[in-house]
A and B are shown apart, each in its own frame.
Chain A
Amino acid sequence: MTSSQESKKEFANAKLYTSVHNIDLEEFYSSGHRTCQGCESALVMRDFVKAAGPRTVVTGATGCMYVANTSYMTTPWVVPWMHTQLGGGGPSAIGMAAGLRALMRKGKIKDEKINVINFSGDLGGGDMGLGGVSEALMTDYDLLVIIYDNESAANTDIQATNLTPYGAQTTFSPTGPARRIMHSKWKKNLAAMMAVGHPNCKYVATACATWPPMDYMNKVKKALTAGGPTLIHTLDPCPKGWDYHPRYSGELGQLAIKSGLFPLYEIVNGEVRYTYDARKQKRVPVREYLEKQGRFTHFINEDYELFQSKVDEMWNNWEVPGVAPLKGILKVAD
C-alpha cells in the first residue's frame, strides 16, 4: 500500500478530500471580517471551519484574527464563536469540551459529535498561552487547537514573538547602525515540541493554508477524527507584517516549505510523516524566500548564510530531520 492509501484507511471516518472539486461549497466563515488583502490567517479560519462543518463550536484567542476578524454586528462566523483571552486558547477548548461531555453524559443535551476548536496566534498560543495549550493536549477531550502563525503580533502593529524568524524586522526589533540584528532568537520549534511532550496527543501537524492543495483541510479533518486532543501549527504569510505585495502570499508559503525552512509533516501516534519531504527534494535556497520580504531587507550575506546553514543542519544532521533537533546520543553509547 502507498502511504496515501494507508492514510485513507487510517482516517476512514475523516472523509478526506481527494480533489478540490469535492470540497464543499458552503461557507461557515463568510463575509464580515476586515482582514487585509492577501491575509492567509483568514484563509486558515475559512478552511478549518469548512473542513469541520456546521456541528462545530469555536473559540478565538485575542489576536489579529479576533480584532480584525470579528467585529460586533458583522461577524463572519456561521458556527458558534466566542472570544477567549490571549493566553486562554487551550483552556477555552477544555472548558467547552468538558461542558459538552458532561451535558451529553447526563442527558441534558443530545449526545452527538460536536467539534471543539480553538485558534490562537503565535503570540497567544505559542508564547503566552503555551501552558494552556499544553494543558489541553494533556486531557482526553476531543479538541483541536490551531496555532495560526504569522510570525508576529500582527494585531498590535507587528511586534516580535518567539515565533518570529531570526533577524526579522518588527516594531519591537528594528534595525539600526548600532544593531543590525535586534531579534536574535531562532524560531521556536512549536509543533514538534508539543508532539513530543504530550502522551495523550495522537495527532500533531504543521500546515500552510494554500499549499499543497487540500493538505491543510485534510489535516483538520484528520485532527478532528484522531480522537483526543490535537494540534495544528500553520504558517501564514502576512503581507502587512512581512512587507510584501498581497499577491505573493501563496508563493511565499510555498517557498517557505520548498526551501525546507518550514517543515511540513504530521505526527500520527508518534510516527512522523512528511507531507512535503524536504530531504528528498532539491531545496530552494532560503535566500529566495527571504529576499522577497521587506522584513529581511537589512540582511547581508552572512545572515543569509546563517539561515541556509541552520536549514541544512535541520535536514542533514537532526535525528528526526526537520522535527527534532537531537543527534543520536544513544547510538554513540557503544
Chain B
Amino acid sequence: MVAQMKQDKIYESEELGSGTDGVAQAVRLADVDVFAAYPIRPYTGVMDRLAKFIADGKFDAEYIVADGEHGQFEIGKHASSVGARAFVGSSGTGWLYAMEALAATATDRLPVVALVGNRALDDPGAFGVEHNDALLVRDLGWMVVWVSTAQEALDTTLIAYRVAEDPAVQMPCAVAMDGGYLTHSEHMMKVPTKEAVSRFLPRYDLGKRVMHPDNPVSIAPQINEDWCMEIRRQNWEAAKRAKGVILKAYKEFNSVFGSNYTNPFFDEHLTEDAETVVIGMGTVAAAAKVAVNRLREKGEKVGFIKLRWFRPFATEELRKALSKAKRVAVIDRDFAHGGPDDGGVLYNEVRSALYESANRPKVVDFIAGLGGREVSIDDVIQMIKTTETSPPSERIHWVGLRERKTEGTGTHVTMRR
C-alpha cells in the first residue's frame, strides 16, 4: 500500500511514445528554459512534441526556430551562459553544421543537453542510423550516452542534466539514439511527476561563471600559449570527475524513481560465465539479446554488453566485466577509415581499454547496419560464430554486404547473408 502510494506520486502517466517523445517529456519535466530547433530528420520529433507542449500550455520555455544548426547551438550555448537550462538537438550532417558551436560549448564548459538522432553523414544522402555523427564530438569535452528505449531516453535525459550541471562536471551532454529504430519506434514509458523530478534534479546554477550584470565576468578571452594548456587540463579533470558524478546520479535516480540501473555505464546480459561477449550501442541491443538467448538455449556460453556511456568511457568497468571472456565481438555502427587495423571507432576504444587487462581476449570487429540497414538476430548469431572460428588475422568483418565480383583482401572479410 505504501509502495503503491509512493508509486502514484512518482509517475503521472504511462504512455506509448517514441524515443524522441521520451526526451521531450524529460525536457518538459526538467523545466528547461530555452530550446532552439532546426529541422533535419530523424531527431525532429522531439522539437515537434516540445512545440506542441508550448502550444497546449503544458510547458513554459523560450522556443526559437533558428536559422541553421550553427545558430541553433550558439543559442543554446549562450542561453546556458546566462543561467538558463537549455536544450538543442540535431542529426547527421546537421550536427556537423553545428560543429564549431559544439566545440565551443564544451570548451566553455556549458552544460547544454542535446539530442542526437543518429543519422548517416552526407554524401550520399541516407536517413538511416550511423553513429559517426555523435562520435565526432568524442574528443571535445562532450559527454555522450546512447539510449535504446523510450523509457531509457526519458530517464537518461534527466540524468544528463543532473550530471552535466553538477559543479564538479559542468560539461555538455549528448543523448544519442538510433535514427528510425528509436526516434520513430514507440514503446510504453512511464512519465514521472514534476515533483519527483524536482527531487532528483536541482535548479541549474552556473555559479561564478554566470553572465549577469551582478556578476561582471569576461568569459573565454584570448589566451594563446599563456594559459591554453592549463584550461585544457581543467577540462580534462572535469571529464575524469564525470564518472563519479554519473555513478552517484544513477544511484539517486534509482532511489527517487524506483528504477533499476545497476551499472550506469553498460548493461550486462548473461555475461557472468560468457566466453564470447558481444558489445554494441543503441537499438542493436534488442537483436543481440535475442541472439544470445537463442545460443544460450543450445548451451553456448555467450553474453552481451550494451554500452550506454561512450564518454566518459568505462575503461575499468569494461576490463572487469570482460576479465573472464575469451573473445569479444564489437558491433560498430560506424566507420573509421584508415584507423588502427582499419577497425571501427568502438572496436578501437574497446581494444585500447583491454590492452592493460590481465586477460587480453581476442577482439573481433563487425561493421554493421550502416545507413540504417537492419542488424538482424541471425546477423548477431553469425557474428558470434565468426568470432569463435575466425583466424586471428581476420579481425574486421563487414556484415551483410552485397556480393561483388572482386574479392576483399587482407584482413577485410565480407560476411554475406
Contact of A79 among B79, B86, B216, B220 (CB under 8 A): B216
Alpha-carbon distance between A95 and B216 when the two chains are bound, in angstroms: 18
Q: Is B104 an interface residue (CB 8 A)?
A: yes
Asked if B81 and A95 sit within 8 Å, CB to CB, the answer is yes
Q: Is A75 an interface residue (CB 8 A)?
A: yes
Asked if B218 and A91 sit within 8 Å, CB to CB, the answer is no
Interface string of A84-95 (1 = CB under 8 A from B): 110110111111
A98, closest chain B residue (CB): B62
Alpha-carbon distance between A82 and B86 when the two chains are bound, in angstroms: 17
A79, closest chain B residue (CB): B216
Residues of chain B contacted by A296 (CB below 8 angstroms):
none
Q: Is A35 an interface residue (CB 8 A)?
A: no
Min CB gap A42→B, angstroms = 15
Residues of chain A contacted by B216 (CB below 8 angstroms):
77-80
Alpha-carbon distance between A92 and B74 when the two chains are bound, in angstroms: 6
Alpha-carbon distance between A131 and B203 when the two chains are bound, in angstroms: 33
Residues of chain A contacted by B100 (CB below 8 angstroms):
85, 87-88
Contact of A99 among B62, B218, B221 (CB under 8 A): B62
Interface string of A301-322 (1 = CB under 8 A from B): 0000000000000000000000
Q: Is B406 an interface residue (CB 8 A)?
A: no
Residues of chain A contacted by B72 (CB below 8 angstroms):
91
Q: Is A12 an interface residue (CB 8 A)?
A: no
Chain B CB within 10 Å, residue with most, of A55, A72, A105: A72
Alpha-carbon distance between A87 and B70 when the two chains are bound, in angstroms: 8
Contact of A95 among B78, B219, B226 (CB under 8 A): B78
Asked if B213 and A114 sit within 8 Å, CB to CB, the answer is yes
Asked if B221 and A75 sit within 8 Å, CB to CB, the answer is yes
Residues of chain A contacted by B42 (CB below 8 angstroms):
none
Task: Tell me how many residues of B have a C-beta within 8 Å of chain A.
Answer: 44
Asked if B221 and A70 sit within 8 Å, CB to CB, the answer is yes
Min CB gap B295→A, angstroms = 51
Chain B CB within 10 Å, residue with most, of A54, A70, A84, A98: A98
Q: Is B117 an interface residue (CB 8 A)?
A: no
Q: Which of B181-217 contact A (CB under 8 A)?
A: 203, 211-213, 215-217
Residues of chain B contacted by A109 (CB below 8 angstroms):
83, 212
B220, closest chain A residue (CB): A83
Contact of A82 among B34, B81, B223, B227 (CB under 8 A): B81
Alpha-carbon distance between A135 and B72 when the two chains are bound, in angstroms: 10
Min CB gap B399→A, angstroms = 39
Alpha-carbon distance between A3 and B392 when the two chains are bound, in angstroms: 86
Alpha-carbon distance between A219 and B66 when the two chains are bound, in angstroms: 28
Q: Is B48 an interface residue (CB 8 A)?
A: no
A34, closest chain B residue (CB): B222
Asked if B215 and A80 sit within 8 Å, CB to CB, the answer is yes
A70, closest chain B residue (CB): B221
Alpha-carbon distance between A70 and B218 when the two chains are bound, in angstroms: 8
Q: Is B147 an interface residue (CB 8 A)?
A: no
Asked if B71 and A88 sit within 8 Å, CB to CB, the answer is yes
Q: Is A67 an interface residue (CB 8 A)?
A: yes
Q: Is B356 an interface residue (CB 8 A)?
A: no
Residues of chain B contacted by A105 (CB below 8 angstroms):
60
Q: Is A59 an interface residue (CB 8 A)?
A: yes
Residues of chain A contacted by B70 (CB below 8 angstroms):
85, 87-88, 91, 132
Residues of chain A contacted by B76 (CB below 8 angstroms):
95
Q: Is B67 an interface residue (CB 8 A)?
A: yes
Residues of chain B contacted by A80 (CB below 8 angstroms):
211-213, 215-219
Q: Is A71 an interface residue (CB 8 A)?
A: yes
A interface, size bucket:
35 or more
Asked if B74 and A132 sit within 8 Å, CB to CB, the answer is yes
Residues of chain A contacted by B217 (CB below 8 angstroms):
80-81
Alpha-carbon distance between A53 and B311 when the two chains are bound, in angstroms: 43
B78, closest chain A residue (CB): A95
Q: Is B77 an interface residue (CB 8 A)?
A: yes
**Known contacts A80-B216, A95-B76; is-contact A132 B71 (Cβ 8 Å):** yes
Q: Is A101 an interface residue (CB 8 A)?
A: yes
Alpha-carbon distance between A297 and B31 when the two chains are bound, in angstroms: 60
Contact of B34 among A59, A93, A98 (CB under 8 A): A98
Min CB gap A54→B, angstroms = 6
Alpha-carbon distance between A266 and B100 when the two chains are bound, in angstroms: 34
Contact of A108 among B36, B203, B213, B227 (CB under 8 A): B203
Min CB gap B99→A, angstroms = 10
Asked if A102 and B222 sit within 8 Å, CB to CB, the answer is no
Q: Is A146 an interface residue (CB 8 A)?
A: no
Alpha-carbon distance between A114 and B214 when the two chains are bound, in angstroms: 11
Asked if A71 and B78 sit within 8 Å, CB to CB, the answer is no
Q: Which of B304-346 contact A (CB under 8 A)?
A: none
A78, closest chain B residue (CB): B216
**Known contacts A103-B33, A105-B60, A139-B64; is-contact A72 B222 (Cβ 8 Å):** yes
Alpha-carbon distance between A114 and B215 when the two chains are bound, in angstroms: 13
B213, closest chain A residue (CB): A55
Min CB gap A108→B, angstroms = 7
**Known contacts A82-B211, A84-B78, A85-B101; is-contact A71 B71 (Cβ 8 Å):** no
Min CB gap A28→B, angstroms = 9
Alpha-carbon distance between A93 and B218 when the two chains are bound, in angstroms: 16
Residues of chain A contacted by B223 (CB below 8 angstroms):
71-72
B35, closest chain A residue (CB): A98
Interface string of B77-94 (1 = CB under 8 A from A): 111111110100000000
Min CB gap B68→A, angstroms = 6
Q: Is A56 an interface residue (CB 8 A)?
A: yes
Asked if A94 and B75 sit within 8 Å, CB to CB, the answer is yes
Asked if B222 and A57 sit within 8 Å, CB to CB, the answer is no
Q: Is B96 an interface residue (CB 8 A)?
A: no
Asked if B74 and A91 sit within 8 Å, CB to CB, the answer is yes
Residues of chain B contacted by A78 (CB below 8 angstroms):
216
**Known contacts A72-B226, A101-B62; is-contact A59 B213 (Cβ 8 Å):** no
Residues of chain A contacted by B36 (CB below 8 angstroms):
94-95
Min CB gap B308→A, angstroms = 30
Alpha-carbon distance between A67 and B222 when the two chains are bound, in angstroms: 6
Ordered by A's residue number, 23 sampled pairs between the chains whose C-beta atoms are within 8 Å are: A55-B213, A57-B82, A70-B221, A80-B215, A81-B219, A82-B78, A85-B70, A85-B104, A88-B71, A88-B74, A91-B66, A93-B78, A95-B75, A96-B82, A98-B34, A99-B78, A99-B82, A102-B62, A102-B84, A103-B82, A108-B83, A132-B74, A138-B67
Having A82-B220, A99-B82, one finds 12 other A-B pairs with CB under 8 Å, namely A57-B212, A59-B78, A72-B226, A81-B217, A85-B74, A91-B72, A92-B78, A95-B36, A98-B79, A102-B61, A132-B70, A138-B67
Task: Across the A-B interface, give the 3 residue pairs with the lowest CB-CB distance, nearest first.
Answer: A95-B78, A99-B84, A91-B74
Binding site for A on B (CB under 8 A): 31, 33-34, 36, 60-62, 64, 66-68, 70-72, 74-84, 86, 100-101, 104, 203, 211-213, 215-223, 226-227
